[in-house]
């Protein structure tokens, strides 16, 4: 009930006439200083090209340009320090509206950009995510994933061979309750489809193994895998290797199957189809649900049953997050782009006016609210009852320059 009430406060009712993106969300209020730790707001966001303005990656011997040259003042983007700082401020503004306890981000250039985002969020809005897990990937564009947390990260691991951007694991200690968090960004679908599908299949198999390893450590581990899967929610279940299922009932059937037979569940399946879109692909004029929050099946168990301390039992607790400023009038994500204002010149001709940078990212965030379930202590035995035998031991609003930047993904996302 608590998670449902909290989710209802976070996600507003459907907005009439929207395409298949999320409904307008309400900014999340700050928790009271002495509020009990009963829920955990977990979010994922592909923040789209969070690069600094310095060419600090290894240069190509032939071109003498690094992959991040594109994000420098000399490039066609004219990516300056001011533009970078403005993007940081806009991302921080949106994150403050979400107020996540744990946030996975994709498309960050390096640890310095992550730290700058954390500091901007703290300095401008007072929301702190001081604990960070990040590793440099081998991606040809130099984009990484990272995990930001309000609570201590007690351990982290990085699996670089799972795909171009690797798989990052961070174990978060949220007031004594452990949450295993994976962050990922799978290979895009641009380019050779058979090659890309093979890469994503390897990434899927690697994620399943990582889940299985965590469940072998603790069968009641609370595990969430946050990221940009570059697979539609329905297509994700068809990716061999991960073995996700599309309904809660199917996942719960595997709740006691252990590390070998478990079937993970994508919480995006809980969102009505008309509200699942997190990315709008302009070339096909279609909404996509490429982002996901996948959980271990035992997290779906009702609170009265023994299981993980963090539960995703409430189907109403997951949604895309988009306050009105984060979308265009037709519902699409308001991506961070250069905008120009025009004014009437002499003779009625339009003349170029002020240039500004607006928007946030080409993806909407996903947010879910996990509920904390404290395990009940064993009932005291009746003094007159026969002593039970000991158990056997068990193993353990100006339009952007679309022509210049709208199709950037096609040129770079392979």
Predicted local confidence at residue 140, as pLDDT: 85
Predicted TM-score (pTM) of the model is 0.84
Predicted local confidence at residue 238, as pLDDT: 66
Greater pLDDT, 94 or 351: 94
Q: Residue range 310-327: average pLDDT?
A: 95
Taking all residues of the chain, what is their mean pLDDT, rounded to a whole number?
83
Predicted local confidence at residue 29, as pLDDT: 76
The pLDDT-based confidence of 356 (bands split at 50, 70, 90) is confident
3-state SS string for 125-189: HCCCCCEEEECCCCCCCCCEEEEEECCCEEEEEEEHHHCCCCEEEEEEEECCEEEEEEEEECCCC
For residue 11, give both structure tokens.
């996600």
Predicted local confidence at residue 237, as pLDDT: 64
Predicted local confidence at residue 190, as pLDDT: 82
Q: Residue range 215-232: average pLDDT?
A: 96
Does domain 2-30+39-378 fall into CATH 3.60.10.10? Answer: yes
The pLDDT-based confidence of 24 (bands split at 50, 70, 90) is confident
Pairing of β 102-108 and β 39-50: parallel
Q: Residue range 46-62: average pLDDT?
A: 89
Q: Where are the domains of the chain?
A: 2-30+39-378
Predicted local confidence at residue 298, as pLDDT: 98
382-391 long-range contacts (CB < 8 A, ≥24 apart) are none
Distance CA 263, CA 242 (A): 8
The pLDDT-based confidence of 379 (bands split at 50, 70, 90) is very low
pLDDT tens-place string over residues 231-245: 887 777 667 789 999
**Residue 184: which of 220, 221, 133 has the closest Cα?**
133
Residue 40 and residue 370 in contact, taking contact as beta carbons nearer than 8 Å = yes
pLDDT exceeds cutoff 90 at 134: yes
State the CB neighbour count (10 A cutoff) for residue 48: 21
Residue 326 and residue 333 in contact, taking contact as beta carbons nearer than 8 Å = yes
Q: Residue range 132-158: average pLDDT?
A: 95
Predicted local confidence at residue 11, as pLDDT: 38
pLDDT exceeds cutoff 70 at 207: yes
The pLDDT-based confidence of 68 (bands split at 50, 70, 90) is confident
Greater pLDDT, 43 or 344: 43
């Amino acid at each position: 009930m608590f998670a449902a009430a909290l989710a209802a406060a976070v996600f507003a009712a459907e907005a009439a006439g929207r395409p298949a993106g999320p409904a307008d969300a309400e900014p999340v209020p700050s928790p009271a200083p002495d509020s009990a730790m009963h829920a955990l707001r977990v979010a994922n966001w592909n923040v789209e090209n969070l690069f600094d303005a310095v060419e600090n990656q290894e240069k190509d011997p032939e071109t003498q340009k690094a992959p991040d040259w594109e994000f420098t003042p000399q490039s066609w983007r004219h990516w300056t320090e001011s533009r970078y700082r403005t993007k940081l401020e806009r991302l921080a503004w949106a994150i403050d509206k979400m107020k996540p306890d744990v946030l996975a981000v994709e498309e960050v250039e390096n640890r310095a950009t992550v730290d700058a985002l954390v500091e901007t969020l703290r300095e401008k809005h007072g929301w702190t995510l001081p604990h960070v897990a990040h590793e440099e990937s081998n991606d040809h564009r130099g984009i990484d994933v990272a995990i930001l947390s309000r609570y201590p990260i007690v351990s982290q691991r990085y699996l670089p061979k799972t795909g171009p951007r690797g798989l990052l694991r961070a174990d978060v200690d949220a007031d004594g309750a452990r949450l295993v968090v994976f962050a990922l960004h799978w290979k895009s679908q641009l380019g050779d489809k058979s090659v890309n599908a093979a890469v994503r299949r390897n990434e899927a198999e690697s994620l399943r193994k990582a889940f299985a390893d965590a469940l072998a450590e603790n069968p009641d581990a609370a595990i969430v895998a946050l990221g940009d899967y570059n697979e539609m929610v329905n297509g994700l279940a068809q990716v061999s290797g991960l073995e996700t299922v599309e309904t809660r009932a199917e996942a719960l059937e595997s709740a006691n199957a252990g590390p070998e037979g478990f079937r993970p569940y994508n919480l995006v399946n809980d969102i009505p189809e008309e509200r699942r879109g997190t990315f709008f692909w302009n070339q096909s004029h279609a909404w996509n649900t490429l982002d996901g929050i996948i959980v271990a099946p035992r997290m779906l168990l009702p609170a009265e049953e023994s299981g993980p301390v963090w539960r995703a039992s409430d189907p109403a607790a997951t949604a895309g997050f988009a306050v009105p400023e984060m979308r265009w009038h037709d519902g699409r994500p308001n991506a961070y782009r250069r905008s120009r204002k025009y004014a009437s010149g002499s003779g009625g001709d339009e003349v170029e006016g002020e240039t500004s940078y607006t928007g946030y990212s080409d993806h909407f965030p996903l947010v879910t609210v996990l509920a904390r379930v404290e395990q009940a202590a064993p009932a005291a035995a009746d003094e007159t009852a026969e002593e039970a035998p000991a158990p056997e031991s068990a193993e353990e609003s100006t339009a952007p320059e679309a022509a210049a930047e709208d199709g950037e993904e096609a040129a770079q996302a392979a």
